[in-house]
Amino acid sequence: MDERIYRQMYEIEERHWWFVSRRMIVEALLQPFADRLGAGARILDAGCGTGGNLRLLAQLGPDVVGMEPEPAAAEMARRRTGLPVFPGRLPDDIPFPEEYFDLILLLDVLEHVDDDTGAVRALALRLKPGGHLLLTIPAYGFLWSAHDEVHHHRRRYVLREIVGQLRNSGLTVKRASYFNCLLFPPIALLRLLKSRIKGWRNRDDLAMPPSALNRILATVMSSERYLLKYCNLPFGVSIIALAQKLPGTPR
């Protein structure tokens, strides 16, 4: 992505309703097994961007690192968190050995990678036996918009597609669900209108809304973490999946 986008993310991702809500949903999904990670657990945020999720991971263990291919974004992440962020790019330039991490996060990164299948396989190799990979990705090709183009996305996904990739990489899928379900109707309608109305077509979604609207949107989206405790959601703007590398899984 352009450095301008990273600077915009750096400014808003601790306040913007979408980033805040995604962190809360990710945290809720990690909660059940977080205590089992152990004091020496190694945790990687692959494609950490400007570091908005590294602080969350630092609550799970002391050995947390980021990996980011864009130097400007990596420097912002270091400045924000004080945590180590290594240069690296999926799938072939990963500066860590195999079977090294207990937990890897891949949050809205896979859609940027040309070889997404190779990226999932490469990260699966970096998991210890028993380790987990948690990822989020954008859903549904028909939601493609200027936001995807500005952020250099290659694709959007359906649930069965990413579940298949995880399984083909030797991982066991523990959870896989759509999310941002409650706001799906207005977001889908807005993107349809943007694609048809001249002057809206090239507008990016990454803008800070008025504070009252920002709070309402955050409340609605983040409330899905309670639903996800009990069930998977049938549709949504995004997908979240948690997969495990079971002991004895062949490389």
pLDDT in tens, 26-76: 999 998 877 778 778 999 999 999 999 999 999 888 899 999 999 999 999
What pLDDT shows up at residue 59? 87
Confidence of residue 89 (pLDDT cuts 50, 70, 90): very high
Pairing of strands 172-179, 238-244: antiparallel
Structural domains counted in the chain: 1
- Which one-letter DSSP state was computed for residue 112? G
7-37: per-residue pLDDT in tens?
999 999 999 999 999 999 999 999 887 777 8
**Can you say how many angstroms the Cα of residue 76 is from the centroid of all Cα atoms in its chain?**
18
What pLDDT shows up at residue 101? 97
- The answer to whether residue 230 sits within a structural domain is yes
125-147: per-residue pLDDT in tens?
999 999 999 999 999 999 998 88
What pLDDT shows up at residue 205? 65
Confidence of residue 213 (pLDDT cuts 50, 70, 90): very high
- The answer to whether residue 249 sits within a structural domain is no
Residue 61 vs residue 231, higher pLDDT: 231
Q: Which of 43, 170, 181, 183 is nearest to 117 (CA)?
A: 170
pTM of model > 0.85: yes
- The answer to whether residue 121 sits within a structural domain is yes
What pLDDT shows up at residue 37? 81
Q: How far is CA 163 from CA 90, 101, 149, 241, 243, in A?
A: 19, 21, 25, 8, 9
What pLDDT shows up at residue 212? 98
- The answer to whether residue 64 sits within a structural domain is yes
What pLDDT shows up at residue 166? 98
- The answer to whether residue 69 sits within a structural domain is yes
- The answer to whether residue 250 sits within a structural domain is no
The C-alpha atoms of residue 4 and residue 10 are separated, in whole angstroms, by: 10
What average pLDDT does the segment 100-124 reach? 98
- The answer to whether residue 232 sits within a structural domain is yes
Tell me the residue range of the domain where 136 lies: 3-244
* pLDDT above 70 (res 197): no
For the stretch 75-78, contacts whose Cβ atoms lie closer than 8 Å and that sit 24 or more positions apart, written own/partner, are 76/6, 76/7, 76/10, 76/50, 76/51, 77/48, 77/49, 77/50, 77/51, 78/51
206-243 residues labelled b (16+ CB within 10 A) or e (exposed): beeeeeeebeebbebbbebbeebeeeebebbbbbbbbb
When the pLDDT of each residue in the chain is averaged and rounded to a whole number, the result is 93
- The answer to whether residue 41 sits within a structural domain is yes
What pLDDT shows up at residue 198? 57
What pLDDT shows up at residue 204? 59
Residue 79's CATH number: 3.40.50.150
